[in-house]
Amino acid sequence: MTSSSSHQFYPLTIRQARKETREAIVLTLEIPEQWRELFAWQPGQHLTFRRMVTGEAGQKEEIRRSYSICSAPSKKDLSVLIKRIPGGQFSEPAQQFQAGDVVEAMPPTGHFVLQPAENRHYVGMAAGSGITPILGMLQAVLEQTEHSHFTLLYGNATTDSILFLEKLADLKDQYPHRLSVLHAISREPVDIPVLSGRIDSDKIRRLHAAEFAHTRPSGYYLCGPGSMIEDLSTTLKALGVPAADIHHEQFLSEGQEITPQQKTVYQDAGVTVTVDGVTHRFDIKKGEEKTLLEAAEAAGVVLPYSCKAGVCATCRCKLKSGRVDLVNNYCLEPWELETGYILSCQAVPRSEKIVISYDE
């Protein structure tokens, strides 16, 4: 490799592979000194891995999957949690990974991040493996500030399925006055009625009245299924929380497929794209069914991506000129759309000239 880029893949050795539950493994990766800056991360970001698999017709194909970072940024080693999805092309074999194995990963990306400030109250709401980025955030708040407080509301079906149960208990012991952890359990009886059942709008209203209304948290960080995020965001806004204080990340596997009709191009388009300081040009013809990312791939232009579903923001870039339709967007916030950011995996050209940049 001649030069370092945040859009390339790097071979990383697994220092430790630890089963968190029967269905999830935590991989701790060794970051060599020369890549430390490149792999520095902000709490809440994720890593994209790639792996070659054999397709249905016997052909080799590359798959990419993103997993949130769960370690605190103060740690030298970077850890991710990978939960098994039945039939998952990455998550299933990953359960067998061992120390010494080498994986290929792109440097951390994602803008679901929390930059801790002093004397604040932050609230995290997570369901299942949605805890992973929130765990990175809450550790950052506890380690990097002296007085800020973090409240975690964490939903699971049963106590057995709670991820990082011990880690959360240890942190609670270490920071008894600055960390509150509320476990909501949906399929087992619990002693506190408000914590029985899924995290839903009724629960949020009751907790808001009891816990949050007087402390006025400066940020709410939500991670879980799309329906939960929609429900909670709507409720928080109705309770008077400014939209700018509500941040969310949907489960990374959850985007909707784009239909051929949605990505049909209506006129010839010339696309100019800058990535890592290099500018490329390619064309898309009228009638083709291609997003900007797919058209770039077909032209041999390598652009960053992971989910291809509008969820992870790895393909986020700035539209400098021209028009596109953004088919799905589960991650960009209103300010990003207003300032011209798009997702190339969801963008279909709608003008003759398009100029985009990954470098801004």
Q: Which of 71, 79, 151, 314 binds ligand FES (CB under 6 A)?
A: 314
Q: Which of 138, 313, 327, 347 binds ligand FES (CB under 6 A)?
A: 313
Interface pick for ligand FES out of 113, 199, 311, 327 (rule CB under 6 A): 311
E strands, 69-112, are 78-83, 102-109
Q: Choose between 20 and 249: whose C-beta lies nearer to ligand FES.
A: 249
Please tell me whether residue 343 binds ligand FES under the rule CB under 6 A: yes
CB of 195 or CB of 332, closer to ligand FES: 332
| Total residues in contact with ligand FES, by rule CB under 6 A | 12
Distances (CA, A) of 244 to 140, 228, 295: 21, 18, 34
Stretch that binds ligand FES, among 22-30, 84-92, 199-207, 299-307 (CB under 6 A): 299-307
Choice between 149 and 308, CB closer to ligand FES: 308
- By beta-carbon proximity to ligand FES, the closer residue of 43 and 310 is 310
What whole-number distance in Å separates Cα of residue 23 and Cα of residue 4?
35
Among 345, 347, 348, 354, binds ligand FES (CB under 6 A): 345
CB atoms within 10 A of CB 293: 20
Question: Which one, 184 or 345, has the nearer CB to ligand FES?
Answer: 345
Shortest Cβ distance from residue 303 to ligand FES (Å)? 9
Q: Could you say whether residue 25 binds ligand FES (CB under 6 A)? A: no
Member of 154, 220, 305, 358 binding ligand FES (CB under 6 A): 305
Which distant-in-sequence residues (6+ apart) come within 8 Å of 299 by Cβ?
A: 280, 282, 283
H/E element, 26: strand 24-30
Strand partners, 27: 17, 80
CB of 204 to ligand FES, least distance (A): 27
- Residue 292, interface with ligand FES (CB under 6 A)? no
Residue 29 contacts ligand FES per CB under 6 A: no
Distance (Å, rounded) from C-alpha 221 to C-alpha 164?
Answer: 18
Q: Evaluate whether 163 touches 82 at the Cβ level (below 8 Å).
A: no
Distance CA 51, CA 61 (A): 8
Closest CA to 232 of 122, 135, 110, 126: 126
Q: Which residue in 308, 317, 324, 327 binds ligand FES (CB under 6 A)?
A: 308
CB atoms within 10 A of CB 191: 6
- Which CB sits closer to ligand FES, 79 or 306? 306
Nearest to 120 by CA among 149, 77, 99: 149
Query: Does 312 help bind ligand FES (rule: CB under 6 A)?
Result: yes
Measured in whole angstroms, how far is the alpha carbon of residue 228 from the centre of its chain? 16
Chain contacts with ligand FES (rule: CB under 6 A): 305-308, 310-315, 343, 345
